[in-house]
Structure 1
């Protein structure tokens, strides 16, 4: 599906939960960053994932700091990219799919991300700022 179809399916709650994997999270960030820029993308993606979690789960999986950090990470790589399509972007930066925990680990210590406060509210990196 194209980006508009993907976004519409996600926002309407019709995107299959079994397909909302790590790559789908990255794509959601990519689409929103392209359309809105970082700050508004953060707001829209956080709200969208919270709603998706409430609709298809028990509302307990959403993690604010991980979501914001993910969007900031995707934005960082987008600034270095000339890709016009998500598939090209992810091919250009495969570490976003294969080594994402390591990328976040450059910014956050495990203890900070495990803190329940980081789940509820965005916490800035303790190791390296974005």
Structure 2
């Protein structure tokens, strides 16, 4: 079972920030529930395959020097957690957001991404 802090890190780095498709999929399978709901400004997608398509579409289309980095401390409880992040060249982000997760049985069952305007 993973801690909320470990789940936040896996979500950001091993899934959304991972350019290796096989490693990304392996991380998805252990990090999220089968029925994970991912909500961002584009809408809600359900399931690991849909989440994988979103993550791949984002990182695979980004320039090679773009990375996700934590933007502050994590906030956690036993069944939810939140982490702010940046995306872009290290130290020069072009996007900022926050991920809020819901945890069920040691995995992420819901991921809500909010973007800074």
Normalised to the residue count of structure 1, the TM-score between the two structures is 0.36
Q: Which has the higher strand share?
A: 2
Normalised to the residue count of structure 2, the TM-score between the two structures is 0.38
Q: Which has the larger radius of gyration?
A: 1
